[in-house]
Structure 1
Amino acid sequence: MKLSADLRSFEGRIGHHFGRPDLLVRAVTHASMSSPTRADNQRLEFLGDRVLGLAMSEALLARDKSASEGQLAPRFNALVRKEACADVAKEIDLGAVLKLGRSEMMSGGRRKQALLGDAMEAVIAAVYLDAGFEAARDMVLRLWGKRIDSVDADARDAKTSLQEWAQARGLTPPNYAELARSGPDHAPVFTIKVELDNGDSEQATAGSKRQAEQAAAKALLERLER
């Protein structure tokens, strides 16, 4: 199979030349384009998630040889969560080479966070099947490099920290409410309010509910701890 020019360019962006080009084509084929003769990337996504997890586990253990499991777990979660995968996908312009059905394309599928995150995991699996774990790990470390170096700043889960703060003071867990949603379906913007039993509250706006909840929790926690 001969790759199209855009996929050959994509190979350059990820730093891997495929011996089996069909694997890359499959990795960038969304379920909306699947057919009896065209496989989609869902099974690759499943595998890629595991390959990414192993690569990150190794990287974190090597980076900090004295870290406890309790310190490693939040760092790991920050690096492998769907938002991180989607951010990497955007940096390498994975959306530009996705093969999407018409309805998915019209609804802005090339920019959807979940879709990009899934496709990134599929690409990792494709590299793994094409050239083995070492090649997949090397690609992951290249693409995630700066995130691994700065993971401590991203690993603190604000929602968990706020809940622990509240419970330590005899309060019930924080309540999160959606105040508003704006923007088109393919790029929604959410405004979320977090409130404690004692009336303390903050709100934040972001491109996903999870991000808005985390931002609101972080803002409230920072104010409470001042």
Structure 2
Amino acid sequence: MSTIDPATAEWLGKLGFKVSNDAPWVEALTHGSFHHGANGTGGSDYQRLEFLGDRVLGLSVASWLYKAGNSPEGKLSQRLNALVSGATCAEIAREIGLQDHIRLGKQAREDGGANSDNILGDVMEALIGASFVEHGYEATRDVVYRLWATELSGDVGKAKHPKSALQEWCAGNRRAMPVYEVVDRSGPDHDTRFKVRVSIHNVGAAEAIANSKGAAERLAAETFLEHFG
């Protein structure tokens, strides 16, 4: 059984993640590529803990939003989706230096896996899952609130989603609805880059690139509104 690196255990402790049993934390920080080639021949990766952590994060944030005011369900859902999104998880992961502690295979690391939004977001959720396994919901919720403090108290998710805003712009200006298409896809599976174009008939088009199709569509809609809105 793998043991956690002392420097990583210290880093987790400073964040509020107390390590009692190494196993879930090692698993949470391990990408599937780590168990191939020179690193080993088999073992667990973060996917199961990511699944669990995603639900714990969602419940924690939903509870905070419910208690924070009397916003209607639609507004609550809008903020929740933004606060627990892969992009937000990846942003927080970078802020705490998570990329320095992920266990990646040699090729995945050389391909930039440690800086992939997808991997960073997934491992962030897996750490939340590991905390839940070790210490339960309340202790994990409190760590989430500390790590997400700026986002919870800020404007993340308060503005209308760019794709919804663009649809409303089209309706208000009697234009055809926007059409999104992936015009290019590049990079390895763990760090895929999507180039998306959004176009509106007789108005114009805009393009954007991101680590996921959804994020690229959002950025393309933002760019379109900046140019034509």
Give TM-score, length-normalised by structure 2. 0.83
Is 1:43 matched with 2:44?
no
CA displacement at 1:217 relative to structure 2: 1.6
Q: Are 1:30 and 1:41, in contact at CA under 8 Å, matched by a contact in 2?
A: yes
2:199 to 195, 198, 204: 195
Distance 1:100 1:49 in 2: 21
Q: 1:181 to 1:29 in 2, by over 3 A?
A: closer
CA displacement at 1:86 relative to structure 2: 0.8
CA displacement at 1:212 relative to structure 2: 4.0
Q: 1:13 to 1:207 in 2, by over 3 A?
A: farther
Distance 1:133 1:56 in 2: 12
Identify unmatched segments of 5+ residues in structure 1.
Answer: none
**Farther off after superposition, 168-177 or 22-31:** 168-177
Partner of 1:120: 124
Identify unmatched segments of 5+ residues in structure 2.
Answer: none
Distance 1:206 1:154 in 2: 22
Distance 1:188 1:40 in 2: 20
Q: Are 1:13 and 1:92, in contact at CA under 8 Å, matched by a contact in 2?
A: no
Q: How does 1:129-144 map to 2 (within 5 A)?
A: 129-144=133-148
Q: 1:139 to 1:166 in 2, by over 3 A?
A: same
**Farther off after superposition, 194-203 or 44-53:** 194-203
The count of residues paired between Structure 1 and Structure 2 equals 223
Distance 2:119 2:208 in 1: 24
CA displacement at 1:170 relative to structure 2: 4.5
Is 1:100 matched with 2:104?
yes
Is 1:22 matched with 2:18?
no
SS at match of 2:71: coil
**Farther off after superposition, 120-129 or 10-19:** 10-19
1:72 to 72, 76, 79: 76
CA displacement at 1:15 relative to structure 2: 1.6
Distance 1:32 1:153 in 2: 33
Q: 1:58 to 1:210 in 2, by over 3 A?
A: same
Is 1:63 matched with 2:64?
no
Match of 1:23, as an amino acid? Answer: P
CA displacement at 1:25 relative to structure 2: 0.9
Identity of aligned residues (%): 36
Give TM-score, length-normalised by structure 1. 0.84
Note the alpha carbon deviations across 1:5-28, whole angstroms, 9 max, x for none: 321232134222211122111110
Q: Are 1:78 and 1:155, in contact at CA under 8 Å, matched by a contact in 2?
A: no
1:52 to 31, 46, 57: 57
CA displacement at 1:125 relative to structure 2: 0.5
Q: Are 2:28 and 2:49, in contact at CA under 8 Å, matched by a contact in 1?
A: yes
Distance 1:110 1:197 in 2: 40
SS at match of 2:130: helix
1:161 to 165, 169, 183: 165
Q: How does 1:206-225 map to 2 (within 5 A)?
A: 209-221=213-225
Q: 1:120 to 1:152 in 2, by over 3 A?
A: closer
Q: Are 2:83 and 2:156, in contact at CA under 8 Å, matched by a contact in 1?
A: no
Superposed CA RMSD in Å reads 2.8
